[in-house]
Amino acid sequence: MHTRRQLLLLGFSTTMLAACTTLPSSNERPPIVFMHGNGDSAALWQTTIWRFESNGWPRDRLFALDQPFPLARDDDTVAQAGRSSTADSMAFLKSEVERVLKTTGATQVVLIGNSRGGNAIRNHVQNGGGDRVVSHVVLGGNPAHGIWAIKGRQERSEFSGLSPFLQQLNAPKNGSGDEVTPGVKWLTLRSDRNDKYAQPDGIWIGIKGTPTHVGFDSAALKGATNVVLPRVDHRETSFSAAAFDATWRFLTGEAPRTLAIEPEAQITLSGRVTGLGVDPLKPDSGAFSNNLPLAGARLEVFAIDASTGGRTGPAVWQQTIMQDGRWGPFQAQPETRYEFVLSAPGYATTHIYRSPFPRSSSVLHLRPERIAESDRDAKALVIFTRPRGYFDAERDTLSFDGQALPPGVPPSGSGVSSSKIKLPNDAPRTIAAEFNGERLVGQTWPASHGDVSVLELTY
């Protein structure tokens, strides 16, 4: 494993983080561009954006991106339907950075990336001219030295530590052996031992018992400020309050005023409706996510009872999704829970239940589900999901329909972010789930009618 700069525990990192900042005062904040990870979307940055806003960063200086095809190729050098190469990702990011600079009139941006998004950021800064327009980079859970480094195993994947892509990114940049491009300030955030993609054993990549030749410190980079966030999982390296705290200190040299998300009196919600793709060469391999607009989908929004999940009246918002995929703006009521119902040809009618929204958001993205063949026997189907983190039965307090260990969640480890219950009865009823104090409530719907319920955590 590569030599690293001494890793800092978060509680002792304030002084060093403060020494790294040169950003201007609060009334001159530079634009921040957020780049999501493999298979993800801009929606995952919602709580991070809220925390930046709650601490005074201007809303119009926060830009979360949606890469059209967010999944990486199996082989970076071979075209693959519905997937993107490292070159595609860099070109997309470069174009978006140029757009943000033009829109804001700024001369430099801050880039913040999670997981695979960090690969695109490093590539852009090192090989795409980003070093001229980027002041600071923050990488959360970036597999900088690969998820595996096994000879003969997909060596041309961008996630292999042996790939030409990562080898050139990690090549020494100076006599000190720094792996980061000079002239830009770099921060990496990683878990101590809880990131599923930085494990010495291949348990989370389907080869349990096989050494990956990658360590817990895979995300750290020589020449960067490297911070360890104890017990966080792969996604929490970017989307947790601890990740925000370290990021804010690095950018401003000060502690954030608050780690809480401060509520707004007026809440406006909008976002995009996107779909699922299928590889035409492997139609039986299952659907995969993309960020392409799902034109023609129908969206309805209902206010619901906080204790039963039942609707309290007719739809408060209805819309047919147009070619751009955008929905809204919808004026939501504070403290009100909503059910978002998506219907589109080829998809299940998907009922999404969320916690009340404390603030406005333009990245409330929605995607309908498909019912897998293996779930066709269910009378009702309910999915409990945590997009911004994973479930850890040893670390977290959770329940799903009264089960303390939800189906599919292992008794140890942070490697699963969703759970599914197949009910033997299609009679509509209340169903609830809870994660570390965030409680969701919804209703079941008959799967025979093509309906699916989704309980989606915000935090």
pLDDT in tens, 288-340: 789 999 999 999 999 999 999 999 999 999 999 999 999 999 999 999 999 99
Burial class (CB in 10 A: 0-12, 13-18, 19+), 437: exposed
Checking if the pLDDT of 136 tops 80, the result is yes
Sequence spans of domains, the chain: 8-252, 267-456
pLDDT at residue 57, rounded to an integer: 98
Task: Give the pLDDT band (50/70/90) at residue 25.
Answer: low
- In SS3 terms, 79-142 reads as CCCCCECHHHHHHHHHHHHHHHHHHHCCCCEEEEEECHHHHHHHHHHHHCCHHHCEEEEEEECC
Mean pLDDT of 388-399: 97
pLDDT at residue 344, rounded to an integer: 97
- Going from the C-alpha of 178 to that of each of 122, 148, 214, 352, the distances in angstroms are 13, 22, 19, 46
- Going from the C-alpha of 313 to that of each of 251, 301, 322, the distances in angstroms are 46, 10, 26
Q: What percent of the chain has pLDDT over 90?
A: 91
Instruction: Give me the residue label for tokens 């509520």.
Output: 263
* DSSP bridge partners of 105: none
The string of DSSP letters for 8-51 reads EEGGG-HHHHHHT-----GGGPPPEEEE--TT--GGGGHHHHHH
In our burial notation (b when 16+ CB lie closer than 10 A, e otherwise), range 297-315 reads bebbbbbbeeeebebeeee
| Class at the top of the CATH hierarchy for domain 8-252 | alpha beta
The CA distance from 314 to 269, in Å, is: 19
pLDDT in tens, 202-232: 999 999 999 999 999 999 999 999 999 999 9
In our burial notation (b when 16+ CB lie closer than 10 A, e otherwise), range 93-109 reads bbebbeebbeeeebeeb
The CA distance from 326 to 187, in Å, is: 33
Checking if the pLDDT of 45 tops 60, the result is yes
Tokens of 178: 């720094």
| Helix, strand, coil fractions of the chain, as percent rounded to 5 | 20, 30, 50
Which of 445, 413, 448, 452 lies closest to 430, judged by CA?
A: 445
Which of 104, 119, 114 lies closest to 138, judged by CA?
A: 114
Burial class (CB in 10 A: 0-12, 13-18, 19+), 200: middle
Checking if the pLDDT of 10 tops 70, the result is no
The CA distance from 379 to 214, in Å, is: 43
Mean pLDDT of 68-83: 97
pLDDT in tens, 164-179: 999 999 999 999 999 9
Question: What DSSP state is assigned to residue 412?
Answer: S
- Amino acid (one-letter) located at 165: F
Question: What DSSP state is assigned to residue 59?
Answer: G
Mean pLDDT of 126-142: 98
Mean pLDDT of 354-374: 97
pLDDT at residue 372, rounded to an integer: 93
Please state, rounded to an integer, the average pLDDT across all residues of the chain: 93
Q: What percent of the chain has pLDDT over 70?
A: 92
pLDDT-wise least confident of 24-28, 150-154, 325-329, 440-444 = 24-28
pLDDT-wise least confident of 122-126, 274-278, 322-326 = 274-278
In our burial notation (b when 16+ CB lie closer than 10 A, e otherwise), range 162-186 reads bbebbeebbeeeeeeebbbbeebbb
pTM value is 0.94
- Going from the C-alpha of 343 to that of each of 299, 348, 450, the distances in angstroms are 7, 7, 10
pLDDT at residue 276, rounded to an integer: 85
pLDDT in tens, 311-320: 999 999 999 9
* DSSP bridge partners of 109: 134
What superfamily in CATH does domain 267-456 come from? Answer: Carboxypeptidase-like, regulatory domain (2.60.40.1120)
Mean pLDDT of 36-45: 98
The CA distance from 304 to 310, in Å, is: 5
- Going from the C-alpha of 356 to that of each of 96, 128, 264, 311, 456, the distances in angstroms are 31, 41, 12, 15, 11
pLDDT at residue 203, rounded to an integer: 95
Residues, the chain: 459
pLDDT in tens, 425-447: 999 999 999 999 999 999 999 99
Q: How far is C-alpha 208 from the geometric centre of its chain's CA atoms? A: 25
Checking if the pLDDT of 2 tops 50, the result is no
